[in-house]
Structure 1
Amino acid sequence: MKLSFKYISYFLLLVLGLNLTLTSCTSDLDVTPKDDDEFLSETFFQDPASYKQVLAKLYSGLFVGGNDGDGKPDISGIGGDFSSYLRLLFVMQEFTTDEAIIAWADGTLPTMNTQKWAPANEFLYGVYSRAFYEISLSNEFLRQTTDEKLDARAVDANLKAEIANFRAEARFLRAFSYYNLMDLFGNVPITTENDPVGFYYPEQKTRAEVFAFIESELKDLDASLVASKANEYGRIDKTAAKFLLAQIYLNAKVYTGTEMYGEAAKLATDVINNSGYTIANVPYKNLFAADNNTNGAQSEFIFPIVADGNAIRPTGGGMSFILHASIGGSMDAAAQGMDGGWQGIRTRKEFVSLFPDETATADKRGTFYTDGQNLSITNVGTFTDGYAVTKFTNVKSDGSKAQRNDIPDTDFPMFRLSDMYLMYAECAVRGAAGADMGTAVGYVNQLRTRANATAITAGNMNLNFILDERGRELFWECHRRTDLIRFGKFTGGDKVWEWKGGVQSGSATASYRNLMPIPATAIQANPTLKQNTGY
């Protein structure tokens, strides 16, 4: 069992009856969980173990949608499976792009395939609410762990020191949620532990103001997070904060109008040279196997979302969704380590074209299942239209079985060092100060060598190549929408793919769709919110 999830499973058992339901994420962003089961109450915190249990709740919310798997969803009005943070990020970052498409016709889900979404979209409501729910829990945890509170409870010095680390992790997870809100929706409210609890309308901030808040938090956390690689696997350290800071700097032109590629390159250099994380010396496929926490892949996992088939309650969220939904047609579910397929996710032919060589010596990152699958997607609702993807598996790297075949053991690499290599390379191509082109070529070739792809030279290094290489290395890892927007290819007609714009051949879409609309339900709850232009 993976150590971090041991505590999550304990926590879920301890507070099984608790229902932390967010009923209005914008009229009361700092939702305080009810004290019906003494969670986050003075009585609850008399147990010294309670602090780590609450921290575990913050981490578990990245995978599951409720305290009992899917059975008791955190978010009112949307099931635990559909409101899993990872599942919702996958919907936003992948279905909206050339990397993925889904056959299902649940509610407004088909509009995510076509860039036809509208404010009354339950999946937008889901990710908006999930992010603010996690922010609310983080804020309340921070309120409950001040020095004043800990002294009043006579918490000993050793536990206080450990809680200081917990607080830093909670602040990072809050910043991570604000990053996703800024990236997806732009102008959103900001609340912290210093704001009042109860009904009020928090002020909507500009995207630049949200950026400044995240930047300030991440810089400050460098002094309080544990040293790089010194935390339990699956928990945050200083390097995770540096990674997220580099990520917002890489996209600063989109978020604030000001380029910060030099700052991104400086952080990338620091992480690559000084963090202790290393590119895993394993086959590419092992990075996404059921034992990727122990098979060597973990050496480059800076921020994994941890899975554990025995510790996690039954759920259709997280990696359960990604693995089940990508199996169908003539695929053998058992070969993927799963108990069946949900006939859902495939990729589009334009993405397949990034891997032109299909010989035995081809780029090993092109993990497509083609038997019985059509390259072109004539009917979105037909699973066999579009190549399936076998990147993630619930099978160990030696071919042996995982713990279970319904809930996978495969960890999701939200941040990994390979991305830092590609960030540095992009900054070099963009002419960032301090980024050396020769070093960048070396970094890219290190990744390509592992993938059995042909080495490149400085002559290959242009922006189109970098975007394509990010797709080859990082596809289905929840980066594609953000990348395409940064390169100016998400909307408009410069880059089209099947069913973009709602037509099979693909069509240009309006640039305002680079931002998602503020969900209609959020504006109903907080009428002071202003809708994004175009919606």
Structure 2
Amino acid sequence: MNIKKYIKSLVCITVLSFSFSCTEDLNIIPNDDQTTLSQDLFENESAYKEVLAGVYANFSLTGTDGAGSSNLQGIDAGTSQYGRVLLYLQTLSADQMIWSYENDPGTREIQRSIWTAQNPLILGMFERARASVNFANNFLNETTEEKLNERNVSQATRDEIVTYRAEARLIRAIAYYHLMDLFGKAPFADETTQINSNPNEILRPELFNYIESELLAIESDLPDPRGNEYGRADKAVAWMVLAKMYLNAKVYIDQDRYTECITYCNRIINGGYSLATNYLHNFMGDNNTNSARNEIIFPLISDGFSVQNFGPTTVMVNGEVGSLEKNGLSLGVSEAGWGGALRVRKQFADLFNGGVFLTDTRNTLITQDRNVNITDISDRDQGYVITKYSNLSSTGATGSSTTFVDTDFPLFRLADVYLMYGEAVLRGGTGGTTTQAIDYVNALRTRANNPEMITTPDFTLDFILDERSRELHWEGHRRQDLIRFNKFTGGNYNWAWKGNASNGISISSHLNVYPIPTTSLASNPNLNQNSGY
């Protein structure tokens, strides 16, 4: 099963219709009247694999009737595509990105640090993650031993379903991980939760323990690293979530878990991955087949023909086109793109100052005839733009559409593991060495054609934070990183438009987590609002 080419048709005939009965609390509705009853759906044993593809589909698609459709009633596609709202909440909220069109619902508040519980992007993320949980729960409900016995499912299919169930549990764990990170809590439901009930609230410590236990429990049933079909998860994806949780455990549960982070980084590094030969291959329209295939651990699928969506890569490629430059053709989209929708904040641009970054391939800033400062967000000619993502292949071919890009979003990739390893070593974790950590950082610099190799005196936590921004910008990590370094809220570090001030001001610590959306609170009396909102 190649999910990139398979996912669109499957989601229409399986999950969105099949799951309706157990997700009414989300108001998920099929967009046609051709619903399929579960007993009919599973007459063909291939349906189990098809439904699993549909569980994955919630990471990419928002509905069954094109990129603009939404299966979340009252929430449109633009404010609920999983990767897009994740990008907004993790990146637009921090010091790397500016969105020009502040009349787009929710964006103004997110990028100015003035969001409230009524923000539609926050609602989109919360409910889209819940949808992933419920789709996974539904799949697990339909693959119990009892139901397989009732359907006389063959032993060969049962053997495959063991892996399918582990993948569904992993998808659910990823969704809960995002809820834990962004909101500090979640309404908890698993496959044993009564249908149409209001899930109880679960706080970070319990949620952390649950996710950890799930990932450890399913490990043996997942394929080995790089042993699954493209777009499907394996052991390394579970290890990546664990490594992320352990690196951030001080934030989540007030415990140092850096040694465990190093342990799982080592497992991923020894799992057969290698850096793409060219940094930019990770962000091109053929990153599912070029050298990035060796580096990307888990992608969110996008395809201009079969998986059209207004997801993060479509937004970023079209948004990168400068208002002055009209450089869309060089990125594989229309000449004017979205007219300068995205630019970078000064603090990010400053990370590429200096001669050593002139040849660094991670430096895709366009600076000519532009001022680095953005004093008026609506003036699209202010500020630098970048060209990190493109809809071109590594051989220069344009993608299958000049609006919806072929470029998969690299949710997890090896370069991040190298930098997590280094940070965990610096923070006192055991099982790794400073020498090895520096070698990993220098491997990234060598790949980027940066002439300056790092030595021990340079290797500090402040350096790691900056290098993570240079390597991983616009990949949905920055808010989490700044919180871990105690630089997101408060006044330790201010950036342009933080706190709704052009030069940035201190913001309250309650903004380290997002509010539970007002709509979600109203529909579930078991939920409580986060402090400060």
How far did 1:96 drift?
Answer: 0.5
Letter in 1 for 2:333: M
Q: Which residue of 2 aligns with 1:485?
A: 483
Alignment check: 8 A CA contact 2:136 2:171 kept:
yes
Q: Give the unaligned 5+ runs of structure 2.
A: none
Structure 1 CA distance for aligned equivalents of residues 203 and 12 of structure 2: 40
Matches within 5 A, 1:317-336: 317-329=311-323, 330-336=325-331
How far did 1:528 drift?
Answer: 2.7
Letter in 1 for 2:69: K
Q: Which residue of 2 aligns with 1:395?
A: 392
Counterpart secondary structure, 1:483: helix
Give the counterpart of 1:337 among 303, 328, 332.
Answer: 332
Matches within 5 A, 1:295-444: 295-313=290-308, 315-329=309-323, 330-339=325-334, 340-342=336-338, 343-357=340-354, 361-444=358-441
Q: Which residue of 2 aligns with 1:285?
A: 280
How far did 1:524 drift?
Answer: 0.9
In structure 2, the CA distance between the partners of 1:153 and 1:54, relative to structure 1 (3 Å rule), is same
- Give the aligned CA root-mean-square deviation in angstroms: 2.3
In structure 2, the CA distance between the partners of 1:19 and 1:405, relative to structure 1 (3 Å rule), is farther
Structure 1 CA distance for aligned equivalents of residues 456 and 464 of structure 2: 12
Give the counterpart of 1:516 among 475, 497, 514.
Answer: 514
Matches within 5 A, 1:124-523: 124-198=122-196, 200-273=197-270, 275-280=271-276, 282-313=277-308, 315-329=309-323, 330-339=325-334, 340-342=336-338, 343-357=340-354, 361-453=358-450, 454-523=452-521
Give the stretch that moved more between structures: 399-408 or 411-420.
Answer: 399-408
In structure 2, the CA distance between the partners of 1:97 and 1:258, relative to structure 1 (3 Å rule), is same
Letter in 2 for 1:449: T
In structure 2, the CA distance between the partners of 1:24 and 1:161, relative to structure 1 (3 Å rule), is closer
Give the stretch that moved more between structures: 11-20 or 372-381.
Answer: 11-20
How far did 1:412 drift?
Answer: 1.1
Check if 1:47 corresponds to 2:44.
Answer: yes
Structure 2 CA distance for aligned equivalents of residues 23 and 316 of structure 1: 27
Alignment check: 8 A CA contact 2:301 2:307 kept:
no
How far did 1:374 drift?
Answer: 2.4
How far did 1:15 drift?
Answer: 5.8
Q: Which residue of 2 aligns with 1:532?
A: 530
Alignment check: 8 A CA contact 1:279 1:417 kept:
yes
How far did 1:529 drift?
Answer: 1.5
Counterpart secondary structure, 1:205: strand
Alignment check: 8 A CA contact 1:305 1:414 kept:
yes
Alignment check: 8 A CA contact 1:23 1:76 kept:
no
Letter in 1 for 2:166: A
Structure 2 CA distance for aligned equivalents of residues 118 and 415 of structure 1: 29
Letter in 2 for 1:250: L
Alignment check: 8 A CA contact 1:186 1:206 kept:
yes
Q: Which residue of 2 aligns with 1:4?
A: 3
Structure 2 CA distance for aligned equivalents of residues 108 and 10 of structure 1: 31
Q: Give the unaligned 5+ runs of structure 1.
A: none
Letter in 1 for 2:280: K
TM-score by length of 2: 0.94
Structure 2 CA distance for aligned equivalents of residues 438 and 278 of structure 1: 19
Structure 1 CA distance for aligned equivalents of residues 83 and 261 of structure 2: 25
Residues 301-326 of structure 1 show CA distances to partners (whole Å, capped at 9, x for unaligned) of 1101122222124x323422222222
Structure 2 CA distance for aligned equivalents of residues 29 and 15 of structure 1: 17
Structure 2 CA distance for aligned equivalents of residues 360 and 144 of structure 1: 53
Residues 279-298 of structure 1 show CA distances to partners (whole Å, capped at 9, x for unaligned) of 22x12112211111222111
Alignment check: 8 A CA contact 2:438 2:456 kept:
yes
Letter in 2 for 1:216: S
How far did 1:42 drift?
Answer: 1.2
Structure 2 CA distance for aligned equivalents of residues 317 and 278 of structure 1: 26
Letter in 1 for 2:321: I
Give the stretch that moved more between structures: 392-401 or 368-377.
Answer: 368-377
Q: Which residue of 1 aligns with 2:59?
A: 62
Structure 2 CA distance for aligned equivalents of residues 408 and 34 of structure 1: 24
Q: Which residue of 2 aligns with 1:72?
A: 69
Letter in 2 for 1:458: T
Structure 2 CA distance for aligned equivalents of residues 204 and 77 of structure 1: 23
Structure 2 CA distance for aligned equivalents of residues 194 and 399 of structure 1: 50
Q: Which protein has the bigger helix share?
A: 2
